[in-house]
Copies of this chain bind each other. A is one copy, B any other.
Amino acid sequence: MPKFVSEFPIFSVTVDLVVLTIRDGVFSVLVIRRGEKPYAGRLALPGGFTQEREDIEDAAYRELKEEAGIGKGDVHLEQLQTFGAPRRDPRSRVVSVAWLALGADLPDPVAGSDAAAAEFRPVDEVLGSASPLAFDHADILSVGVERARSKLEYTGAAANYCPPEFTVGELRSVYEAVWGVELDPANFHRKVTRAEGFLSETGENTTRGGGRPAKLFRGSPRARLNPPILRD
């Protein structure tokens, strides 16, 4: 076992991941079942230790790969918040940098060894669960979900939950799943197609889903949506 020595107080820095996607129309989060103490058997967010010479963002991507088989191009990743209460991990002083990852219908994580215990669960079920998440992960998840919801108001983040090309109806269903509301299809259509720089037509059509063929669009996940779509 390696030994590290320091003249300053010793911290470990971990990354924890709030991985959100939409599975069968349900807003869902990736959780793992813990095998070890503390909190053995409880659900938790995926995550792990940052390495000695590793950028914290790289650590987040690495854990995403190791624990869920998700690659860099599969998700949008952004920093969420850092949690550093002295006793948040009973073993030692651990400061955790939480990250938010948004992706289109992600594969069932069965690949790696670590990933065996990982699965997507509905956000509402996990937050309202009788068996709460380990550590302060419920707090982290709450922050992540609120951030994900508010990003839909002012940005093109909804496109992160869609395949590269999608219809306006598919985009609307993202809003409906994430916010848990119903939106008027006609007004939503006008709103997003008129917002400058938000959607770009591919010229293709699709008929998946039945009904009249819909135009396919590409999104700009980083675009600012002006005027915003407010939740109230």
Which residues of A are in contact with B by a Cβ distance under 8 Å?
A: 1-13, 49-57, 79, 81-82, 84-86, 92-93, 95, 97, 226-228, 230, 232
Q: Is the CB of A49 within 8 A of B9?
A: yes
Residues of B within 8 A of A10 (CB): 4-6, 10-11, 52
Copies of this chain held together in the complex = 2
Q: Is the CB of B6 within 8 A of A56?
A: no
CB distance from A228 to the nearest CB of B (A): 8
Which residue from B2, B81, B232 sits with its C-beta under 8 Å from A7?
B2
Q: Is the CB of B85 within 8 A of A82?
A: no
A-B residue pairs in contact (CB < 8 Å), sample of 10: A2-B7, A3-B5, A4-B10, A5-B5, A8-B49, A9-B49, A13-B13, A13-B84, A55-B86, A227-B230
Q: Known contacts A13-B13, A56-B85, A227-B230; can you find 5 more A-B pairs with CB under 8 A? A: A4-B7, A9-B51, A10-B11, A53-B93, A79-B82
CB distance from A95 to the nearest CB of B (A): 5
Q: Is the CB of A1 within 8 A of B9?
A: no
CB distance from A176 to the nearest CB of B (A): 21
Q: Is the CB of B3 within 8 A of A4?
A: no
CB distance from A47 to the nearest CB of B (A): 14
CB distance from A4 to the nearest CB of B (A): 4
How many angstroms between the C-alpha atoms of A53 and B12 in the bound complex?
Answer: 13
Residues of B within 8 A of A13 (CB): 11, 13, 84, 95
Residues of B within 8 A of A227 (CB): 230
Residues of B within 8 A of A92 (CB): 6, 8
How many angstroms between the C-alpha atoms of A54 and B87 in the bound complex?
Answer: 10
Residue of B nearest to A78 (CB): B81
Residue of B nearest to A93 (CB): B52
How many angstroms between the C-alpha atoms of A10 and B49 in the bound complex?
Answer: 11
How many angstroms between the C-alpha atoms of A221 and B5 in the bound complex?
Answer: 44
